[in-house]
Structure 1
């Protein structure tokens, strides 16, 4: 039997009867610190639930020393804040960028543990130089860094042409007086192709290495300019777990044709854990990290990407945090509507994705038959101790269906693995929270024309054509809630009778702006579950004659419980 499941692989306080951990930040840095110096930043922990927090702190690296201070008044919750002090002590570490992870735990709290990623710029984070690459069609490019104080900066350029600027972005968000963000900006400013030189002189930093002249070069070119989806990669995997992969997407923000020639991996610490290769016929680099044979600790490496881009080879630093094997752990705010990426509300019966780590000990597993069971390869999901149907499970993601009879309001979700109990995180379940599914091309939705094509502008490799007034579209969604007649959780929707969504639904084309309406509402022909699928809804609607036209027409679904997210379609 073919299983009707779609798998998508890819943030008012309410009191509950247990402590709930909240952190003011989960990432800090880069924190500038002198070699053999110290720097301290603070993150506030607070309790959004009942009782009191009993925090435990651990660091993945010896150069971060975390401690808690006495509770003090807090603007966020009435129970007060507990300052978590993060002292960076690099000792004799060489100048460079380092990353560590501090885990904040409380075995009795919901939404715990949580982690704080700490990045340190040992020797200071003022860059040794700044190289900018811009296309002849014009534009700007920026380089950001954090300083240990409000610096004195002086900008000079050849021939006094005003293309270079440096600005402080205000005091740091970690702790006043500790970190000040700066931004160096280069602009083509009407200049033609060529190489332009300048300098930023820096003074006034308490870190000696930050007081220096920074040479700056801007090259304006008609050649390809490579731009990566991430400047650095971080992996966090338990010892003995399967290899994990992250993808680097490379785009060309210059001219001409960008050709990716390949990628190589170099390891600075550890052995054999890092790989990099270009996915054939794409501009995507697949980077893998394998904890096999490694003890818990932090390892570093570099991926070098070769291409015909004007800047030459591009280097991407990689940090690999190997942690001890332990129970399954869900991330705070880690349960979201699947295929949409929003998690504020979860409708009864909706398909959701839960993210965390050590959710599966081995390779991914996926349900192959219907109805869905409550146990998939030893993985079980509970909502307030009520089991939920599961259809996909991997190391860091589990997809499941919120039961149609799940309790509404704030609930606790947890994942057990092979009988090992996981942590609990909070989420809000409502009767319905419609979410239109995204195609993965811009903001276009999973919407289908009558001929099976997607209503998007003609796109190579995609069956696509613009829709027209009078056409009937099928819009796919999740989260519309219980149906009439009712369909049991985990069971495919029947073809006869159709499971319809009760209520007054309207499809909205376009926006109703403050300076005049540019939207049209119409009643759908059908709103309900898609036959032979679990938790997948469809809305059949005929496009009105007076619909807004264009390649990015907004579409939303309005119902008794509110308005869905928006996707776009192309209408000619």
Structure 2
């Protein structure tokens, strides 16, 4: 019997010292490769001579076994010094089996002990630009019988598979860049052909397709170009996806070595246009410069595309331009809108991108160009109570006046009662929006517009206000929302001076027509806030059972809290205008101050005339 030590190191696919145990001649060395990715090919030599510790040839030889049984016994030993051959890979696994035999001319020395080492190279061809850190190898040794040392004949081999739970060694394989890649997209011309030149001639009859099926073929060219192989790929009928193939051949420079050329075929879906087709919007004012150009990125999915671009406008002439109008992807399309000669209005156009080979051609981008008249403008401080002209916020149902520019028509427009009996939300082509909710309109003119804040703003901290004239909106302006913001109407609509107050007989209170002491006068105000029942936008207050403010009022006349006889919506006026009937104290005078409080928020001060 002859003893040897064998093992597997983490080095690239080689068997080296370190196996746990000794082996007799007839012992089989087993290497199992696990977790190999698709497209990996292994080749190994037919035989390997052992080495002595000093590096000189040993007395043993490991010869590769093919056709072995499931228990790794039996099979045929390849010839000593024979060529390299493939190791079949199935389901990510490959199995190499070598048997230890005496090397010629040695025939065996009974009882001699040798300390030989085997290094079995394994060529791993991996056609991907990455390493396989996940692959691993286990080493197995065929068991030996200690009684065989005293036996005149070799023991009957008993082999078992390696134990997958132990002796794992990772295989770190650098990528082989010596591979071919073909990419096919429907509409490409076929077949796909590529040539590869080697450093010597291809051995005649050695070339074969070892993986790839009918889609892959290869042949060496005729001499003197027989160092070049032509690869032909016919992808017709293949589903989308990646396909692995390989061609094996031998070269005259080293006929024993088996050269593997991996082939990758990527079959792509049909090409598509990749383009954002959401609308492109431009806006500029009359007489202003052209708006900044915009860009859209045009590309092809699965393949570069040749494209053409056309533009169309429905009105306004040739105001839309796109560059470039033809070429190949990828590219940025520059889109421009020219307002020269255009009157205020909305103009529509479209951009059509066509690529003959794309399955989703053509693609259309809508374009909207707004040429605006001078837009409404105002500030938050210009939103004031219509009675007191105080700013600082708005209350539900408060009548407010907005001051600014371009807030309505040149000719002032007044209140409009709709068919439903409510105050319309449009007058003179003007609307006022509170968080998008249209307000009942009282009046509109170029620099001043009056409306009633919708009751829906109640409970909000702030509200966005916009003025819209003939469909053109101002920039939104944020204003605070208050629970109440009382303002008492004055006789001259200035928010101060003589109040718009009626005497008990229904006549207007003036210094010439004072109210008798102890009589009841009527005040009109806005900004009392939400009502019971809840306020309805634009509704005219009924004469009977009008809505009552949710907050309780307090009225001071001449600094004295006065007795309130009635509070509620002013009959016949829009919801949001409140009437208070209050008894006049006995303080005479032409200018007796009047102030109203709701939720302790005070109104402006107006004056009432009281007779002596």
TM-score under structure 2 length normalisation = 0.36
The structure that has the greater radius of gyration is: 2
TM-score, normalised to structure 1's length? 0.39
RCO comparison, higher one (Cα < 8 Å, 6+): 1
